[in-house]
Amino acid sequence: MKNYDIIIIGGGPAGLAAAISAYDNGSRDILILEREPVLGGILNQCIHNGFGLTRFKESLTGPEYAYRFVEEVRSRGIEYMCDTTVLEVSTDKQVTAINSTKGVFSLSAKAIILAMGCRERSRGALNIAGARPAGIYSAGTAQKYVNILGQMPGKRVVILGSGDIGLIMARRMTLEGAKVLAVCEIMPHSSGLKRNIVQCLDDYGIPLYLSHTIVKIEGKDRVSGVYIAQVDEKRRPIEGTEKYFECDTVLFSVGLIPENELSKGAGVSLSPATKGPIVYDDRETSVSGIFACGNVLHVHDLVDFVSEEAEIAGVSASNYAMGKGADRRVVSTTCGNNVSYVLPQMLDTNASGMVKLYFRVNKVLPNPTIRLTSNGEDIVVKKKKIAVPGEMESIVLTPAKLQSISGDVVVSVEE
Amino acid sequence: MFDVIVVGGGVIGATILRELTKYRLKVAMVEKESDVAMGQSRANSGIVHAGYDAKEGTLKAKFNLLGNLMMPAYTQELGVKYINNGSIVVAYSPDEIDTLYELKSRGEKNGVEGLEVIDTETLRALEPNISPDACGALLAKTGGIVCPYELTIASIGNAMDNGASLYTDYEVCEIVKGVDYFIVKSIDGRELSTKIIINSAGIGSGDISKMAGDDTVHISGRKGEYILLDRESQGYCTHTIFKTPTSKGKGILISPTVDGNILLGPTAQEVDVPDTDTTSTGLDYVKQTADSMCVRVPHYNTITSFAGVRAYSDTHDFVISHSDKVEGLINVAGIESPGLTSAPAIAKYVVEELVSALLPLVENTDFDGRRQSDHYYSKLDNDSKNKIIAQDPRYGKIICRCEQITEGEIVSVIRRNPRATTIDAVKRRLRAGMGRCQGGFCQPQVAQILARELGIPLEEVTKSGKNSRLIVGKTK
């Protein structure tokens, strides 16, 4: 069985950035395994721009953003294998994979980086009543048909969920000549980025129905229409508020779920809040030598943050493979008021560099005060103009601040 | 001229068709949909009932027991998954205990073995998630589970391998009776002639019987809605869990499936038009009832919901007989639960007793009842897989990541009997697209493989036949 220092599972933005940072940290024996025929991951079908504003201070398309990292990987001569699906990862860091040339084969590694990304929640998960005809797609599937295969999934479209892919697809389908009749969001606020609401819906006159959901899908062979209705505070449809839209297509953009089937097989502990692994600030999971980054860890709003996080995992995995163990003094991070999750879940207060804590709020909070406390003591307090669930928030902790932490930390956001 | 045409490609028609190929007969099946197993055989509970439900003396009681006894060998020969997981009927109040003893006694009269009334403690040891309200149960050790559409597809595939013909998209609109033959016409103008018609058209069997000249078969529909939970919930329960039946029927069950999912349902709603739409009230009812039967039902693992329409006769028993009015017409209608369990036994009876009365049966010595499972590849060890991949690299290319299905397997089910020609047909044979992403990732790839293998443009690939096209044209 061939042995590597580091095996990275997934050649999307997370895997690529992790590979580059591991290499730059001194590791040479690195392998990226990618199931698609080319590197780049889901970015390859995201042909809209707006990627890289934070990292590169310019607006790139998804493929352009990915290409920059692919070039960096190639110029370093980092090994990668495409068209290769990982079937299993074990606790002792053996990887079983399959492809057309090698068949089923096993490899082992000193360190593994999980970078498998996420998948879309499906219609079935929502138990939406009605028929099951053709014309019902998740937004990402529709994106693949349109952007990769050049095929139109439909002409008259209703979208459920205001996730970013749904918003992007509302614009994309419109540009391709389809009529997008409505975007329904069950919550009283959008789950997507503000800029996408403006640039993808408002600019094209596409109505956004907040606190609305689809209550019934009709159609025999192909979708023929949907009923939407307003929902109450408990997200139950309110009778008498139904509206009918004649359409041939329904797109679902109702959330992303980190794809952790391999992680579970490896015995990695998962967080019910993020649906991703529980990690230290260096992105090591509960299994020694297995690291995680990107959307497999928690669903990010911007790919720029995926790259940033993956670099942490890459360096950590590289150090681990070189036998540089961390002597940690660990506290856990927990959610206070109005916070749905905090990542990392475990914090090494001995860390020598800056540590960034990511978190999300669970409702729209104007003029919020963000507070990080430990044993009732304020460690960080900062003000913001607004915090929304669709956008990730962060707090940076300096080594000095870290040292001042005396016990488990709580992140809360108050109005 | 066929000797026998079977109308309807559900599990009943499927097992009859296969049974017919054991004899030197020219046989065909006509099915109105684009694939087989598109009616109630694709959307039912998948239970191999023990046989304590039906009243003694009924056809249901007779064929249930026989079918239950035949099922293990029958499925093994066809490479179909079957698990003898046992069923339990739970009493949720002390006064229901009496009913359990009644069921036990009825089952024993029907000839069912292995029935036992168990106390709460034993029940809890078997099913730790049972509701605290449970106060006893009937354990039926011979109860089992099977995948209804897998059984249907495998039976028809094997029948075809043994010489039977299949006509899909063949919606019968007229049956002309000749002196000693019928002409069976389809809405698109095709015609087939046959000496015998076996009517196993499910919800449409009343209509088919009438077209052939017998208006005595009266069939109604009862819709059942289901919720399916992800395989992540595997192990939540191991037995099929029923409530104690009332006059209204068996009610909601909670059961593992042979593929490791958990199934909740069905409702029972009388319907005039047999639509398979789910309803919010129906799905809510399934959830609430499941919650009253067991604790911590993992609803968060829901991956899909669906509905099926069960056809039942106004006699409330199976209709399995020669038509009194039309010679050469055999009705096999109103096959509601326990129809799936009964199917192999019904098929044997129909051929050996009813067909034999009309035609001499000569054994087909070439008959081979074995069929390789559509899932055989995934069960192989790595060395065997690698030998196949070396010959055909497509077996190394994973298409459905959730269920780990390869391109080679997909090509195989498009080519073998009965050929898969749609996205849903591939899904029913291989589970590609049936996992937790529900085809979100693999559907475009499966569509491309179908287009290539069938030699049609991508625009013509459908979800499940007719006008269910996936795409409406090219982008600008």
pLDDT tens digits, residue range A364-412? Answer: 999 999 999 999 999 999 999 999 988 899 999 999 999 999 899 999 9
Mean pLDDT of all residues in B294-308 = 94
CB distance A80 to A22 below 8 Å? no
Pairwise CA distance, residues B334 & B313, whole Å = 4
- In this structure, the answer to whether residues B402 and B273 fall within a common structural domain is no
Mean pLDDT of all residues in B394-413 = 96
In a domain, B68, yes or no: no
A146 touches chain B (CB under 8 A): yes
- In this structure, the answer to whether residues B413 and B280 fall within a common structural domain is no
* Residue B129: Cβ-neighbour burial (10 angstroms; 0-12, 13-18, 19+): middle
In a domain, B161, yes or no: no
Nearest neighbour of A144 by CB, restricted to B386, B390, B444: B444
A359: three-class secondary structure by DSSP: strand
Residue A192 has a pLDDT of 86
In a domain, B293, yes or no: yes
Q: Determine what percent of chain A is predicted with pLDDT higher than 70.
A: 100
CATH number for position B431:
1.10.10.1100
pLDDT at A126 over 90: no
Nearest neighbour of A154 by CB, restricted to B448, B464, B472: B472
In angstroms, what is the C-alpha Rg of chain A? 22
Q: Determine what percent of chain B is predicted with pLDDT higher than 70.
A: 100
Residues of B annotated as catalytic (active site), given as ranges: 49
In a domain, B335, yes or no: no
- Please report which confidence band the pLDDT of residue B8 belongs to, taking 50, 70 and 90 as the band edges: very high
Residue A191 has a pLDDT of 83
Residue A248 has a pLDDT of 98
Q: How many domains are contained in chain B?
A: 2
In a domain, B102, yes or no: yes
Residue A125 has a pLDDT of 78
- In this structure, the answer to whether residues B306 and B386 fall within a common structural domain is no
Give all domains of chain A, ordered by start, each with its CATH number: 1-120+256-325 (3.50.50.60), 122-254 (3.50.50.60), 327-415 (2.60.40)
Strands of the sheet containing A355-361, edge to edge, are: A339-343, A355-361, A393-397
Pairwise CA distance, residues B200 & B205, whole Å = 6
- Domain boundary among the residues B288, B311, B334 is at B311
In a domain, B423, yes or no: yes
| For residue B338, cis peptide bond before it (omega within 30 degrees of 0) | yes
In a domain, B443, yes or no: yes
- In this structure, the answer to whether residues B132 and B230 fall within a common structural domain is yes
Instruction: State the smallest CA–CA distance between residue B376 and chain A in angstroms.
Output: 16
Tokens for A268, please give them.
């990695």
CB distance A394 to A357 below 8 Å? yes
Contact (CB<8Å) B444/A130:
no
Pairwise CA distance, residues B442 & B191, whole Å = 38
* List of chain B residues whose C-beta atoms are within 8 Å of the C-beta of residue A152: 471-475
* Number of inter-chain CB pairs under 8 A, A vs B: 143
- In this structure, the answer to whether residues B293 and B402 fall within a common structural domain is no
* List of chain A residues whose C-beta atoms are within 8 Å of the C-beta of residue B404: 85, 87
Please identify which residue in the block is written with the tokens 């087989």.
Answer: B36
pLDDT at A415 over 90: no
pLDDT at B249 over 80: no
- Choose from A34, A94, A149, A249 for mutation: most chain B CBs within 10 A: A149
Pairwise CA distance, residues B108 & B110, whole Å = 5
Instruction: State the smallest CA–CA distance between residue B474 and chain A in angstroms.
Output: 4
CB distance B209 to B323 below 8 Å? yes
Residue B33 has a pLDDT of 97
The helix or strand, by DSSP H or E, that contains position A373, with its residue range, turns out to be strand A369-374
Angle of the B11-20 helix axis to the B339-349 helix axis, nearest 10: 30
- In this structure, the answer to whether residues B301 and B393 fall within a common structural domain is no
- In this structure, the answer to whether residues B304 and B421 fall within a common structural domain is no
pLDDT at B248 over 80: no
Instruction: State the smallest CA–CA distance between residue B304 and chain A in angstroms.
Output: 4
- Please report which confidence band the pLDDT of residue B326 belongs to, taking 50, 70 and 90 as the band edges: very high
Residue A352 has a pLDDT of 86
- Please report which confidence band the pLDDT of residue B281 belongs to, taking 50, 70 and 90 as the band edges: very high
B-chain residue closest to A248, CA distance: B472
> Which A residues in the span 219-248 are in contact with B, Cβ-Cβ below 8 Å?
220-222, 237, 248
Mean pLDDT of all residues in A273-285 = 97
- Domain boundary among the residues B259, B293, B311 is at B311
pLDDT at A252 over 80: yes
pLDDT at A326 over 80: no
Residue B273 has a pLDDT of 82
Pairwise CA distance, residues A274 & A270, whole Å = 8
Question: Terminus-to-terminus CA distance in chain A, angstroms?
Answer: 56
A210: three-class secondary structure by DSSP: strand
Mean pLDDT of all residues in A319-337 = 92
Mean pLDDT of all residues in B58-82 = 98
- Bridge partners, residue A373, by sequence: A378, A410
- In this structure, the answer to whether residues B239 and B90 fall within a common structural domain is yes
* Contacts of residue B7, Cβ cutoff 8 Å, sequence gap at least 6: B13, B29, B30, B172, B184, B197, B198, B199, B200, B201, B205, B208
Domain span at residue B454 reads 377-460
* List of chain A residues whose C-beta atoms are within 8 Å of the C-beta of residue B283: 127, 129
A-chain residue closest to B298, CA distance: A125
A-chain residue closest to B458, CA distance: A151
Give the CA angle between residues B266, B272, B276 to the nearest 5°.
45
- Bridge partners, residue A65, by sequence: none
Residue A379 has a pLDDT of 94
Are β-strands B87-90 and B165-167 bridged in parallel, bridged antiparallel, or unpaired?
A: unpaired
- Please report which confidence band the pLDDT of residue B247 belongs to, taking 50, 70 and 90 as the band edges: confident
Residue A392 has a pLDDT of 92
In a domain, B323, yes or no: no
Q: Determine what percent of chain A is predicted with pLDDT higher than 90.
A: 92
Residue B304 has a pLDDT of 92
- In this structure, the answer to whether residues B271 and B396 fall within a common structural domain is no
Which 8-state DSSP code applies to residue A102?
T
- Bridge partners, residue B310, by sequence: B222
- Domain boundary among the residues B294, B311, B328 is at B311
Q: What is the pLDDT of residues A14-50, one digit of tens each?
A: 999 999 999 999 999 999 999 999 999 999 999 999 9
Angle of the B148-161 helix axis to the B423-430 helix axis, nearest 10: 100
Q: Lowest mean pLDDT of A186-195, A212-221, B225-234, name the range.
A: A186-195
Q: What is the pLDDT of residues A195-220, one digit of tens each?
A: 999 999 999 999 999 999 999 999 99
Instruction: State the smallest CA–CA distance between residue B469 and chain A in angstroms.
Output: 6
- In this structure, the answer to whether residues B248 and B128 fall within a common structural domain is yes
pLDDT at A269 over 90: yes
* Residue B362: Cβ-neighbour burial (10 angstroms; 0-12, 13-18, 19+): exposed
B-chain residue closest to A214, CA distance: B280
Contact (CB<8Å) A100/B475:
no
- ipTM field: 0.95
Contact (CB<8Å) A152/B390:
no
Pairwise CA distance, residues A303 & A51, whole Å = 7
Mean pLDDT of all residues in B372-393 = 97
Residue A127 has a pLDDT of 79
- Choose from A81, A83, A94, A119 for mutation: most chain B CBs within 10 A: A119
pLDDT at B317 over 80: yes
Pairwise CA distance, residues B126 & A281, whole Å = 43
CATH number for position B129:
3.30.9.10
